[in-house]
């Protein structure tokens, strides 16, 4: 999952990014509205955390631009102002959630989890596929309720597969979803990570299918276990 934080307070932005990276998200940060607007047109994100009081272009203008492009990206607004009028305007322009500063970090993390689940069409914090389950809050995978040991990168890959179950995901899409600006992760490296994850999932009966030229997907649960890959 990839998040963009648009916040001009560098100390707050740094604290948020550190916390969300610890939770397993890939996080990029911009400090003004123009940069936010440019980033959103060049890169795909799963969530935007948007401060309203941005320089160059304020948050409401950024939000308006997003919705005018018919972009359904979930947007969580942060603001130092807590007026009813501002909340109503932000929600009317298409914001998905609203938090007033100062806020509890644990509450923001919970709202981020809820919004990213919604963006991938997932309503539950626990994902299931065959004998495999994945706790989105704790970011832990289990086979028959026994913990599955995965690296941080393998955990992120599995989360992407499960939250997009039934959809084909290309190597380049994995790079976009997993990597922040400046990270050097190639499509070939993604192939290696998927190979390692595939081996760890074999005991659960969960199979990652490869479709040449298109990418990867989880084998649908409705297929017979002996169906060809």
Question: Is there a single domain that holds both residue 89 and residue 155?
Answer: no
| pTM above threshold 0.95 | no
* 119, 145, 166 - which closes a domain: 119
47 closest CA partner among 90, 91, 6, 2: 2
Q: What is the pLDDT of residue 176?
A: 79
Asked if residue 89 belongs to a domain, the reply is: yes
Note the pLDDT of residue 219: 84
Residue 170's φ and ψ, nearest 5 degrees, are -80, 165
Range of the domain at 112: 2-119
In DSSP notation, 129-198 reads ETTEEEETTTTEEEETTEEE---HHHHHHHHHHHHTTTS-B-HHHHHHHH--TT----HHHHHHHHHHHH
- How far does CA 169 lie from the centroid of its chain? 14
The last residue of one of the domains, among 93, 119, 145, is: 119
Q: What is the pLDDT along the chain (229 residues), one digit of tens a residue?
A: 788 999 999 999 999 998 888 887 888 999 999 999 999 988 888 899 999 889 999 989 999 999 998 888 899 998 887 677 777 887 888 888 888 888 888 898 888 988 887 766 555 577 888 888 888 777 888 888 888 899 888 888 888 888 777 788 888 888 877 776 667 778 888 889 999 999 999 888 888 888 887 888 888 766 444 444 4
Domain count, the chain: 2
Nearest to 94 by CA among 123, 122, 120, 59: 59
Would you say residue 228 lies in a domain?
A: no
- What's the sign of the alpha-carbon dihedral 127, 132, 138, 140? negative
């Amino acid at each position: 999952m990839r998040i963009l934080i648009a916040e001009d307070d560098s100390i707050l932005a740094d604290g948020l990014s550190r916390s969300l990276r610890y939770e397993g998200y890939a996080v990029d940060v911009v400090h003004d509205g123009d940069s936010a607007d440019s980033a959103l047109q060049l890169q795909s994100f799963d969530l935007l955390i948007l401060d309203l009081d941005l320089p160059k272009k304020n948050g409401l203008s950024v939000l308006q631009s997003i919705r005018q492009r018919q972009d359904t990206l979930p947007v969580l607004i942060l603001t130092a102002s807590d007026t009813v009028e501002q909340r109503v305007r932000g929600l009317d322009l298409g914001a998905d959630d609203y938090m007033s500063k100062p806020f509890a970090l644990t509450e923001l993390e919970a709202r981020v989890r809820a919004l990213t689940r919604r963006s991938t069409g997932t309503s539950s914090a626990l994902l299931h596929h065959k004998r495999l389950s994945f706790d989105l809050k704790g970011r832990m995978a289990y086979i028959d309720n026994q913990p599955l040991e995965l690296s941080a990168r393998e955990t992120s890959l599995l989360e992407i597969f499960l939250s997009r179950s039934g959809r084909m995901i290309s190597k380049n899409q994995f790079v976009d979803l997993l990597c922040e600006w400046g990270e050097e992760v190639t499509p070939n490296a993604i192939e290696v990570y998927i190979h390692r994850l595939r081996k760890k999932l074999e005991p659960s009966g969960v199979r990652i299918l490869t479709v040449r030229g298109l990418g990867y997907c989880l084998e649908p649960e409705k297929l017979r276990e002996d169906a060809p890959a």
